[in-house]
Amino acid sequence: MNSAPHAPALTYTRGAALPAILRQRIAIMDGAMGTMIQRLKLTEEQYRGVRFAEIQQDVKGNNELLSLTRPDVIQDIHERYLLAGADLIETNTFGATRVAQEDYDMADLAYEMNVQSARIAKAACDKHSTPEHPRFVLGAIGPTPKTASISPDVNDPGARNVSFEQLQAAYAEQVEGLLDGGADALLVETIFDTLNAKAALFAIEAVFEARQERVPLVISGTVTDASGRILSGQTVSAFWASVRHARPLAVGLNCALGAALMRPYIQELAKLAEDTFISCYPNAGLPNPMSDTGFDETPEVTSRLLHEFAAQGLVNIVGGCCGTTPEHIAAIAHAVAPQSARAVSKPVFYAAAA
């Protein structure tokens, strides 16, 4: 499907250099934040810090809280990925929505978490950027633990534990925080329910319009198994049809699968989304509790597979999801460096700056 010929060009207020970079070479995304945090084996007290030392509820596992209580830990992880060669680093905000933070009784901290997480990532990027190698902050927007399309009650298919309006409001608050903190682009990721993603995209567009500014947008879905569908039932082609209207800079897949199992779906998406850059950041293979990272693949295996994707002309952005580390990212960066970026002739994102 060709892009509408008379659509106005998008002018990015930040991240304006990204379209040109993605045309010139394959960009490197960072790896897993959660994996790196888990390796530190932080205690309940370390998660709480001084500020939340006296609260009643347990907060261990609330990784987004660490942006407020241990910003040094989060910045160190960002910097390790930047030193490994990442061009794009994700903010520590996967679960930093009011909806997700309700699980920890910390919904009122959602906006602050996003602002501070973006500032931490921005500081790391500024420290490691050069004119020849600029680095960019992707404001990470996760799917939330509640879904708008699937019933939480097997006996009541029509039941829902969240509404579209609630999701939209939560995402709008998150986007405001990410932009206020300095994010260069936004990443709606790990999409297992496209209706949740539609709420995020609606919120993003509303915030852009209200602020009179626009940053690049990356959209990444999650194929959950060999059926080739996301959890709410859509095929890859249906998923792309559902989000294409947002005119993303890039669309891709992440999580759930390793690169070997993700290959046919990236091939399909690269063929369908011919007018958009393609991103791919798979898990480090399958879960393996005996591994240091909790996943099977070594950096050598993951990088070899993503090198094959690059050699086939399938990708513009590559990185890692669950189980990947700075060692994986360094190996991926080295493996894809000689390969050319996938060509995009008629971009749906109409970036004037490109």
Cα distance between residue 327 and residue 333, in whole Å: 10
Helix/strand/coil for 178: helix
Identity of residue 278: I
DSSP type of residue 281: E
Structure confidence at residue 240 (pLDDT): 97
Q: Report which secondary-structure segment, H or E, holds 328.
A: helix 326-336
Burial of 34 (0-12, 13-18, 19+ CB in 10 A): middle
Ordered per-residue pLDDT tens for the chain, 354 residues:
444 444 567 889 999 999 999 999 999 999 999 999 999 999 999 999 999 999 999 999 999 999 999 999 999 999 999 999 999 999 999 999 999 999 999 999 999 999 999 999 999 999 999 999 999 999 999 999 999 888 787 787 777 889 999 999 999 999 999 999 999 999 999 999 999 999 999 999 999 999 999 999 999 999 998 889 999 889 999 999 999 999 999 999 999 999 999 999 999 999 999 999 999 999 999 888 888 888 999 999 999 999 999 999 999 999 999 999 999 999 999 999 999 999 998 777 766 544
Q: How far apart are CA 168 and CA 193, in angstroms?
A: 14
DSSP codes joined into one string, 39-50? HHT--HHHHHTT
What is the residue type of 38?
A: Q
Query: Which residue has 């319009």 as its token pair?
Result: 209
Q: pTM for the complete prediction? A: 0.95
Q: What is the pLDDT of residues 264-280, one digit of tens each?
A: 999 999 999 999 999 99
Could you read off the pLDDT of 29-52 as tens digits, one per residue?
Answer: 999 999 999 999 999 999 999 999
Pairwise CA distance, residues 291 & 289, whole Å: 6
pLDDT of residue 226: 81
Please tell me the distance from the alpha carbon of residue 107 to that of residue 330, in angstroms, as a whole number. Answer: 36
Question: Under a CB-based contact definition with an 8 Å cutoff, are residues 186 and 217 in contact?
Answer: yes
Q: What is the pLDDT of residue 6?
A: 47
Please name which of 307, 228, 232 lies closest in space to residue 268, comparing C-alpha atoms. Answer: 228
User: Are the CB atoms for 234 and 189 separated by under 8 Å?
Assistant: no
Q: What is the pLDDT of residue 352?
A: 59
**The listed CATH number (3.20.20.330, 3.40.50.150, 3.40.50.300, 3.40.50.620) that belongs to domain 18-336:** 3.20.20.330
CA 354 – CA 340 distance, rounded (Å): 18
Domain ranges of the chain: 18-336
Strand 250-258: give its sheet, edge to edge.
27-28, 317-318, 277-283, 250-258, 217-221, 185-191, 136-141, 88-90
Cβ atoms of 176 and 186 within 8 Å: the answer is no
110-113 long-range Cβ contacts below 8 angstroms, 24+ apart: 110/170, 110/173, 110/174, 110/177, 111/173, 111/174, 111/176, 111/177, 112/68, 112/177, 113/64, 113/65, 113/67, 113/68, 113/177
